[in-house]
């Protein structure tokens, strides 16, 4: 723990540890999130410290010099957003996984456990990562964490014998990208104004589920894109069941 250190030193140490020797920002963020998995006290400390630092009134060029020296990057606005604001969002999203678990209903837990899920479940996602990279899709750390926890699960409310034929949610980006080609995602991404990572099929394959960098979930249904949820367990709670609430339509393609 680093309780005796100030915000600048904690953030500086974090940037040195995960960014200084890794020029790729996505790889650095992924490495950071993997490294602190399960270290809940450190997760809270890092998250709160990033937030505190961003809200502080600092001398001119303090953040620029910190990024240049500690993260080994030239300073500009996109870099500031990527390393500081973005890192806060990613770490916060990681921590929210633990918080959101409290909002999963017992009924949903039964469906998840029937599908083979447990709180300790983690699966290898190397095949998913390679496949997404090959097709040119972004590999957001929060999306990879979702796949690591739920990848391969087929969640269904059907009786045990029928659950393999009928499902509410199938977490499988390989199968999803076979059903929904890249140009479909590209059209929605252009309309939305941000990239999306394909993660799952829903409603027996009639809908596609994608995530953005901040961990928001979207549902592609025909020519329309709907906002589903803002966090992983909120999405799981909704998509594991047949009766979905009315989603907010984000856009509709021409």
Cα 203 versus chain centre, distance = 21
pLDDT value at residue 160:
58
Q: What is the pLDDT of residue 84?
A: 53
Q: What's the whole-number mean pLDDT along residues 176-198?
A: 93
Going by DSSP bridges, is the β-strand pair 217-221/169-170 parallel, antiparallel, or unpaired?
unpaired
Q: Distance between CA 102 and CA 164 in Å, rounded?
A: 28
Predicted pLDDT of residue 243: 84
pLDDT tens for each residue of 79-100: 444 455 555 555 555 545 554 5
Q: Cα separation of 244 and 228, whole Å?
A: 9
Q: Which helix (H) or strand (E) holds 222?
A: none
Comparing 47-56, 165-174, 209-218, the range with the smallest average pLDDT is 47-56
Choice between 63 and 208, residue whose per-residue pLDDT is larger: 208
pLDDT digits (tens, 9 = 90+) for 143-160: 998 999 999 999 998 765
First-to-last C-alpha distance (Å) of the chain = 53
Q: pLDDT tens-digit profile of 91-126? A: 555 545 554 555 678 899 899 999 999 888 889 999
pLDDT tier, 168 (very low <50, low <70, confident <90, very high otherwise): very high
The CA distance from 180 to 141, in Å, is 22
pLDDT at 71: 83
Spatial CA neighbour of 244 closest among 157, 145, 148, 142:
157
Q: In whole angstroms, what is the distance from residue 41 CA to residue 27 CA? A: 23
Q: Please check whether residue 125 is in contact with residue 148, taking contact to mean a CB–CB distance below 8 angstroms.
A: yes
Query: DSSP assignment, residue 186?
Result: H
Average pLDDT of span 169-181: 95
Average pLDDT, the chain: 81
Residues 73 and 24 sit within 8 Å (Cβ to Cβ): no
| Contact residues for 242 (Cβ-Cβ < 8 A; gap 6+) | 157, 168
Predicted confidence at residue 79, as pLDDT, reads 46
What number is the average pLDDT over the span 232-250? Answer: 89
Q: Within 10 Å of residue 131's Cβ, how many Cβ atoms?
A: 15
Tokens of 41: 């006290």
Of 145, 135, 229, the C-alpha closest to 182 is: 135
Residue with tokens 């980006």: 173
Minimum mean pLDDT range among 75-79, 107-111, 193-197, 231-235: 75-79
pTM of the model: 0.64
């Amino acid at each position: 723990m680093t309780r005796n250190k100030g915000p600048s030193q904690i953030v500086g140490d974090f940037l040195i540890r995960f960014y200084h020797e890794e020029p790729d920002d996505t790889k650095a963020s992924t490495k950071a999130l993997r490294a602190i998995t399960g270290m809940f006290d450190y997760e809270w400390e890092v998250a709160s410290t990033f937030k505190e630092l961003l809200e502080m009134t600092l001398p001119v060029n303090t953040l620029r010099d910190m990024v240049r020296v500690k993260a080994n990057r030239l300073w500009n606005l996109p870099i500031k957003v990527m390393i500081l604001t973005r890192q806060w969002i990613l770490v916060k999203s990681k921590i929210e996984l633990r918080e959101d678990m409290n909002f999963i209903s017992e009924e949903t837990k039964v469906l998840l456990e029937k599908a083979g899920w447990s709180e300790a479940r983690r699966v290898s996602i190397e095949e998913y990562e390679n496949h997404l990279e090959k097709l040119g899709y972004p590999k957001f750390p929060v999306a990879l964490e979702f796949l690591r926890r739920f990848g391969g699960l087929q969640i269904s409310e059907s009786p045990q014998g029928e659950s393999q034929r009928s499902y509410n949610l199938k977490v499988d980006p390989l199968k999803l990208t076979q059903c929904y080609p890249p140009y479909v995602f590209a059209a929605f991404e252009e309309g939305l104004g941000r990239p999306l990572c394909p993660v799952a099929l829903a409603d027996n394959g009639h809908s596609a589920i994608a995530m953005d960098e901040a961990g928001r979930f979207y549902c592609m249904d025909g020519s329309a894109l709907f906002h589903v949820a803002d966090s992983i367990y909120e999405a799981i709670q909704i998509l594991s069941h047949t009766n979905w609430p009315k989603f907010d339509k984000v856009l509709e393609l021409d």
